[in-house]
Chain A
Amino acid sequence: MKIDDLVFLIISGFTVASALGVVLSRNIVHSALALILTFIGVAMLFFGLGASFLGLVQILVYAGAVSVLTIFAIMLVMKPDPASTNPSTPSRATHILGGLLAWSVVVGLGMAIGFSRWPSLPAEPAGFDTVGVLANLLLGNYVVAFEAAAVLLLLAVVGAIILAKGAEKP
C-alpha cells in the first residue's frame, strides 16, 4: 500500500465520521463544529486531487464564511438548553423512510459505480497551473456564467439582509 492510499483512507474516514457527527449529534453546536471538520476533510481531499485552488476556496468559503454564518444563526435562535437543540424526527416512519432512501441511494449509486467501465484512465498528469487554466475558463468561455454568479451573490446578500431585518411595522 502506497502512502497516498493510506492518506486517502485516513482523510475519507475522517470526513465520513464527521459527516455522521453532523447528522447524529443531538446538540446543534456540536453538529456545526462537525460540519467544519467535514469541510476541512473535503478540502484535504481536494488538495489530494491536485485541486489546490479549489481546496483553498473550500476552506475560505465553507470552513470560514458559511460555518461562521451558520454558527451566528444558531446563536440567534438557540434555546437555553443546548442538549436538545437538534432533535430527531419523532415519527419512526420518517426515520425509516429517510434511512431507506439514503441506503438505496448509496447502494444504487455504488453498484452503478462498481459496474461502470471508465475510458482508459490517463497516468499521473504533469503538474500544471490550475489557477491559470481556471482563470482562462472563467474569464473566457464562461464569462457569462461568471457574471451571472456575481449577480446571484449580490441578490442573495440583499435578499438576506431584507429578510433578516424584517418588515417595517406599519
Chain B
Amino acid sequence: MIGLNHYLLLGTALFGIGVYGVFAKRNAIAVLMSVELMLNAVNVNFVAINRFLQPDAALGQLFAIFVIVVAAAEVSVGLALIISIYRQRQSVNLNDFNLMKW
C-alpha cells in the first residue's frame, strides 16, 4: 500500500539529485535546473503531506502554489543574469564567473 512515506522518500530522492547537480555541474543553466528539481521535490512533499494528514484543508497546495510563483520569478531573474554575464564573458561556465572577485 502506497502511503505518505513513499511520497516523502520520492521527494527526498529528487532533492538529493538536485543537491548533487548543484555541486557537480559547471554550466550555470544546469545549476538553475538542479535548483528547480529541489523546488519540485519540496512541492511533492507539501502536496503529499496535505493529502495524507489534512485532506480537508488545502494549505499544502496553497504553499506549493507560492513555491511555484517564487520559482518562476527565480528562474526568470537567474536566466537574465546568466545572459547578462554571458555578454561580458562569452561563457556560461561557473569557473569563469569571477566578476566580483579580485
A99 to chain B, nearest CB (A): 6
Do residues A42 and B79 form an inter-chain contact, with CB atoms below 8 A? Answer: no
B19-37 Cβ-contact flags toward A at 8 Å (1 or 0): 1111111110110111011
Decide yes or no: A113 and B3 within 8 Å by CB, A69-B79, A74-B29 being known contacts. no
A51 to B24, CA, bound (A): 33
A91-113 Cβ-contact flags toward B at 8 Å (1 or 0): 00011011101110110011001
Do residues B61 and A19 form an inter-chain contact, with CB atoms below 8 A? Answer: no
Chain B residues lying within 8 Å of A119, measured Cβ to Cβ, are 53
Residues A20-43 near B (CB distance < 8 A): 20, 22-23, 28, 31-32, 35, 38-39, 42
B83-102 Cβ-contact flags toward A at 8 Å (1 or 0): 11011000011000000000
Interchain CB contact (< 8 A) of A16 among B14, B23, B55, B56: B14
Do residues B23 and A105 form an inter-chain contact, with CB atoms below 8 A? Answer: no
Q: What's the count of A-B pairs with C-beta under 8 Å?
A: 232
Decide yes or no: A70 and B33 within 8 Å by CB, A16-B13, A23-B17, A51-B51 being known contacts. yes
Do residues A22 and B40 form an inter-chain contact, with CB atoms below 8 A? Answer: no
Decide yes or no: A38 and B37 within 8 Å by CB, A70-B75, A77-B83, A152-B70 being known contacts. yes
Do residues B10 and A65 form an inter-chain contact, with CB atoms below 8 A? Answer: no
Do residues B33 and A89 form an inter-chain contact, with CB atoms below 8 A? Answer: no
Interchain CB contact (< 8 A) of B53 among A35, A62, A118, A134: A118
Chain B residues lying within 8 Å of A69, measured Cβ to Cβ, are 75-76, 79
B82 to chain A, nearest CB (A): 6
A71, closest chain B residue (CB): B29
Do residues B72 and A65 form an inter-chain contact, with CB atoms below 8 A? Answer: yes
A111 to chain B, nearest CB (A): 10
Do residues B17 and A20 form an inter-chain contact, with CB atoms below 8 A? Answer: yes
Decide yes or no: A130 and B61 within 8 Å by CB, A2-B1, A23-B34 being known contacts. yes
Chain A residues lying within 8 Å of B6, measured Cβ to Cβ, are 8, 12
A59-74 Cβ-contact flags toward B at 8 Å (1 or 0): 0011001100110111
Decide yes or no: A88 and B26 within 8 Å by CB, A61-B68, A163-B81 being known contacts. yes
A141-160 Cβ-contact flags toward B at 8 Å (1 or 0): 01001000100110111011
A98 to chain B, nearest CB (A): 2
Do residues A85 and B20 form an inter-chain contact, with CB atoms below 8 A? Answer: no
Chain A residues lying within 8 Å of B5, measured Cβ to Cβ, are 113-114
A61 to B40, CA, bound (A): 12
